[in-house]
Amino acid sequence: MSQTAHIRSHRKPRRASRNPLLRTGVAGGVLSTLAVTAAAAPSSAEEKKPAADTVEMPTITSDLAAGTQRAVDATQAIAVQYEAEAARTRAAEKAIDQAAERAKAKKEAERRAAEAAARERAERAAQERAARDAQRTTVATSTADSTAEAPAPTGGGNVATLVSFLRAQIGKSYVMGATGPSAYDCSGLTQAAFRQLGISLPRTSQSQSTAGTQVSLDNLRPGDILYWGSAGSAYHVAVYIGNGRFIGAQNPSTGIVERDMSYDMPTGAVRVL
């Protein structure tokens, strides 16, 4: 640039504008091109959209169907699992119920067995009591018969004197080693009673159990000496007074009493009258 270029009067005049018609034509061509392009664009978009839908929709539908199937399969698997668990629970509950029923049945069987055993023991005891009662009845009957048929005793006295003396001692005390008149032990009372008839007996129950003739308990007579234990080693003696009864000095708690033979059945007897 020259040194005078900035001075307006020295600037070069601008070239005149180009032909207005040319500019108008160019502008019209550009606008026409834009209009054609704008008009064609929606048509292209419309042509492409169905293609995009055609490609994408099958993919979405297929994925949804696959997901749905997986959910169905999972639900079925869970249902199967729950059903299996329920079956196991039912089986366990059934096993518990069966075990309880077996335990109940066992307990009932044991109860019935115990009741049967108790009934059997009671029946056996009743039979044994009946047998003992029958035996005692037989002894009493035999004794009564033998008493009615027995001849008058000999030996310096009679049975009535013996029995009268013994009954007069009932209620007196039992004292070991005592021989009367206020207290006796078993052999001391027997010795004192037979002394009333003039019969002398040994002092102890062991010796008195062999002092006379051994007789059966089924053939007793009033005045026979009863003993408990073995002959020669008896531990207790008393005097039979008839009708299945005896009088004896029993023990310190009872003293001298009259009892039925069923109270304490003796082992044997001896006859000294």
pLDDT: is 148 or 13 the higher one? Answer: 13
pLDDT: is 153 or 186 the higher one? Answer: 186
Q: Identify whether residues 97 and 137 lie together within a single domain.
A: yes
Cβ proximity of 267 and 227 under 8 Å: yes
Q: Identify whether residues 210 and 226 lie together within a single domain.
A: yes
**Coil, helix or strand for 179?**
strand
Task: Quote the percentage of the chain above a pLDDT of 70.
Answer: 66
> Would you state the structure tokens that stand for residue 263, as one six-digit string?
């109270």
Question: What number of CA atoms fall less than 13 Å from residue 124's CA on the CB side?
Answer: 6
Q: Identify whether residues 249 and 138 lie together within a single domain.
A: no
Instruction: Assess if residue 198 is contained within a domain.
Output: yes
- Tens of pLDDT along 218-238? 999 999 999 999 999 999 999
Nearest-5° Cα angle at 69, 66 to 75: 145
Q: Identify whether residues 92 and 188 lie together within a single domain.
A: no
Q: Name the residue among 236, 247, 239, 169 with its Cα closest to residue 204.
A: 236
pLDDT: is 49 or 216 the higher one? Answer: 216
Q: Identify whether residues 167 and 264 lie together within a single domain.
A: yes
Measure the CA–CA gap between 240 and 220, rounded to whole angstroms: 8
Nearest-5° Cα angle at 238, 136 to 255: 110
Instruction: Assess if residue 212 is contained within a domain.
Output: yes
Q: Identify whether residues 114 and 54 lie together within a single domain.
A: yes
- Tens of pLDDT along 111-124? 888 887 877 777 77
- Tens of pLDDT along 140-180? 444 444 444 333 344 445 899 999 999 999 999 999 999 99
Measure the CA–CA gap between 57 and 51, rounded to whole angstroms: 10
Q: Identify whether residues 126 and 38 lie together within a single domain.
A: yes
Q: What is the DSSP string of 214-271?
A: EE-GGG--TTPEEEESSTTS-SEEEEEEETTEEEEEEETTTEEEEEEGGGS--SEEEE
pLDDT: is 60 or 179 the higher one? Answer: 179
Residue 72's pLDDT band, with cuts at 50, 70 and 90, is: confident
Domain assignment of residue 257, given as a range: 153-271
Q: Identify whether residues 137 and 176 lie together within a single domain.
A: no
- Tens of pLDDT along 92-108? 999 999 999 899 999 88
Alpha helices in the chain (DSSP H): 20-149, 159-168, 186-195, 205-208
Tell me: cis bond preceding 181? Omega within 30 of 0 counts.
Answer: yes
Measure the CA–CA gap between 226 and 9, rounded to whole angstroms: 187
Write down the pTM of the prediction.
Answer: 0.45
